Amino acid sequence: MALSPAIRTVAIVGTGVIGRSWAAVFARAGCETRLFDVDPDQLPRARVWLDGQRKPDWGPIVACATVDAALDTAGYVQESGPERLDVKQQLFVDLDRAAPPSAILASSTSAFDMTEIARGLRHPERCIVAHPVNPPHVIPAVEVLGGIRTAVDVVDRTCDLLRAVGQTPVVLKKHVHGFILNRLQFALVREAIHLLQHDVADVEAIDAVVREGLGLRWALLGPFAVADTNKDDGVRAYFGGYEQWIIDLMNQLGPTPSLDGDLIERIGKALDGARGETSRAEVREWRDRMVVEIRRLKADNPVARVGERAQ
Ligand SMILES: NC(=O)c1ccc[n+]([C@@H]2O[C@H](COP(=O)([O-])OP(=O)(O)OC[C@H]3O[C@@H](n4cnc5c(N)ncnc54)[C@H](O)[C@@H]3O)[C@@H](O)[C@H]2O)c1
């Protein structure tokens, strides 16, 4: 895989679920990938997972004892610490101090505004959001968005690097809490919980409608492109022809539900029952393998490029 020659050394700060997966993305593209985590138990855990993934042609993976050592020669830093604004702000103070002047500082944040994270930093112009979809070594989309002081060339260089390591950057025009992915995801989850609370269906039935229905199309086409295929005359006929029906239906969608302990337990029990003897790790491993297969299959499908052309 060709890699942007300008950035060959990457640092991952925070090596939990997302950080270790980012490490796989960069190392498999040949980058020297330097890891730091404040929790001394976390680095060996990430290492074990990465050793299980790595292939002989990967770049070196170096576990570092300090953030300074991790960032020393880095051209790009992927912050993947906890999703708390105060923690991210302090982390970015440390990263801004320790990184070489030309390094890009990217955050995996799922919702926060880079303008807030980088407030008061010496070099906010090099700070950017690069929000992955879990797990990024399997799922390519990355939401990319600067703060108000982020330099335009930092957005471009981040996208170039992400493309060079096999990801699909999607640039947002402005900040909105939760970006695109989590807003769409939780619009659906909100309604799923509403349906469950109103006893319209059980957990299994709601999951089945997405797994065996909506999700199959969405793996190929986005919601607008799906609408375009729902009528012979396309999206204009679909949205235009069904306008009142769609508006009436949208008006009936549920308000934000509560997530009380009993409800969470009911969902947990249903999913434990559905998984049976299969472990959660086995389900994850199967999910990741299938996603890779789906990506391989749809790479040859011209219709699947509709979404890519839209960017
Ligand atoms: N898990 C997901 O599905 C997902 C998806 C996309 C984005 N994200 C985002 O990625 C980020 C990481 O999420 P995660 O699920 O990997 O969390 P996680 O809890 O699994 O990992 C966070 C890691 O950061 C480490 N850490 C805490 N403070 C630190 C510090 N000061 N310096 C260095 N390391 C520190 C922790 O020890 C831990 O290993 C969050 O911002 C999250 O919103 C998560």
Please indicate whether residue 82, judged by its CB atom, sits closer than 6 Å to ligand 1.
yes
Quick one: which atom of ligand 1 is closest to the CA of 39?
Answer: 37
Please indicate whether residue 132, judged by its CB atom, sits closer than 6 Å to ligand 1.
yes
Q: How far is the CA of 86 from the centre of ligand 1 (A)?
A: 13
Percent of the chain surpassing pLDDT 90: 92
Last residue of a domain, one of 171, 190, 225: 171
Q: Name the band, by pLDDT with cuts 50, 70 and 90, for residue 301.
A: low
| pLDDT recorded at residue 173 | 96
CA distance 177 to 181: 10
**Res 4 pLDDT > 70:** no
Inside any domain, residue 290: yes
User: Are 202 and 66 in a shared domain?
Assistant: no
Which residues are within 8 A (CB) of 254 and not within 5 positions of it... i.e. 6 or more apart? 190, 191, 193, 194, 195, 197, 198
User: Are 271 and 249 in a shared domain?
Assistant: yes
| pLDDT recorded at residue 310 | 43
Provide the mean pLDDT of the chain.
94
Q: How far is the CA of 240 from the centre of ligand 1 (A)?
A: 43
Please indicate whether residue 83, judged by its CB atom, sits closer than 6 Å to ligand 1.
yes
User: Are 78 and 35 in a shared domain?
Assistant: yes
Cβ distance 290 to 216 under 8 Å?
A: no
Q: What is the 3-state secondary structure (H, E, C) of the chain?
A: CCCCCCCCEEEEECCCHHHHHHHHHHHHCCCEEEEECCCCCHHHHHHHHHHHHCCCCCCCEEECCCHHHHHCCCCEEEECCCCCHHHHHHHHHHHHHHCCCCCEEEECCCCCCHHHHCCCCCCHHHEEEEEECCCCCCCCEEEEEECCCCCHHHHHHHHHHHHHCCCEEEECCCCCCCCCHHHHHHHHHHHHHHHHHCCCCCHHHHHHHHHHHHHHHHCCCCHHHHHHHCCCCHHHHHHHHCHHHHHHHHHCCCCCCCCCHHHHHHHHHHHHHHHCCCCHHHHHHHHHHHHHHHHHHHCCCHHHHHHHHCC
Nearest CA-CA partner of 50 in 76, 19, 80, 13: 19
Inside any domain, residue 142: yes
User: Are 208 and 253 in a shared domain?
Assistant: yes
Cβ distance 112 to 88 under 8 Å?
A: yes
CA distances from 195 to 108, 182, 192, 260, 266 (A): 31, 19, 5, 15, 14
User: Are 121 and 221 in a shared domain?
Assistant: no
How many domains is the chain partitioned into structurally?
2
User: Are 17 and 44 in a shared domain?
Assistant: yes
Please indicate whether residue 17, judged by its CB atom, sits closer than 6 Å to ligand 1.
yes
Inside any domain, residue 3: no
Question: CATH number for the domain including 256?
Answer: 1.10.1040.10
Q: Name the band, by pLDDT with cuts 50, 70 and 90, for residue 99.
A: very high
| pLDDT recorded at residue 17 | 96
User: Are 88 and 24 in a shared domain?
Assistant: yes
Q: Name the band, by pLDDT with cuts 50, 70 and 90, for residue 46.
A: very high
Rounded mean pLDDT, 78-98: 98
Inside any domain, residue 1: no
Per-residue pLDDT of 152-188, as tens digits, reads 999 999 999 999 999 999 999 999 999 999 999 999 9
User: Are 252 and 105 in a shared domain?
Assistant: no
Q: How far is the CA of 116 from the centre of ligand 1 (A)?
A: 18
Last residue of a domain, one of 112, 144, 171: 171
Per-residue pLDDT of 35-45, as tens digits, reads 999 999 999 99
User: Are 201 and 157 in a shared domain?
Assistant: no
| pLDDT recorded at residue 86 | 98
Q: How far is the CA of 105 from the centre of ligand 1 (A)?
A: 15
User: Are 167 and 195 in a shared domain?
Assistant: no
Structural domain for 201, as ranges: 181-309
Ligand 1, atom 38, residue with closest C-alpha: 16
Please indicate whether residue 138, judged by its CB atom, sits closer than 6 Å to ligand 1.
no
Q: How far is the CA of 81 from the centre of ligand 1 (A)?
A: 4
Pocket mutation for ligand 1, best pick of 17, 43, 86, 97 (most atoms within 8 Å of C-beta) = 17
**Res 63 pLDDT > 80:** yes
**Res 309 pLDDT > 50:** no
Inside any domain, residue 2: no
- Cβ atoms within 10 Å of 148's Cβ, excluding its own: 12
Ligand 1, atom 40, residue with closest C-alpha: 83
Per-residue pLDDT of 183-203, as tens digits, reads 999 999 999 999 999 999 999
Inside any domain, residue 96: yes
Please indicate whether residue 37, judged by its CB atom, sits closer than 6 Å to ligand 1.
yes
| pLDDT recorded at residue 11 | 98
Inside any domain, residue 116: yes
CA distances from 271 to 25, 200, 202, 215 (A): 30, 18, 11, 18
Pocket mutation for ligand 1, best pick of 25, 79, 80 (most atoms within 8 Å of C-beta) = 80
User: Are 277 and 158 in a shared domain?
Assistant: no
Last residue of a domain, one of 171, 199, 222: 171
Rounded mean pLDDT, 71-78: 97
Q: How far is the CA of 130 from the centre of ligand 1 (A)?
A: 13
User: Are 136 and 205 in a shared domain?
Assistant: no
**Res 82 pLDDT > 50:** yes
Per-residue pLDDT of 119-130, as tens digits, reads 999 999 999 999
Ligand 1, atom 11, residue with closest C-alpha: 80
Inside any domain, residue 252: yes
Which residues are within 8 A (CB) of 168 and not within 5 positions of it... i.e. 6 or more apart? 140, 141, 142, 162, 308
Question: CATH number for the domain including 47?
Answer: 3.40.50.720
Per-residue pLDDT of 205-256, as tens digits, reads 999 999 999 999 999 999 999 999 999 999 999 999 999 999 999 999 989 9
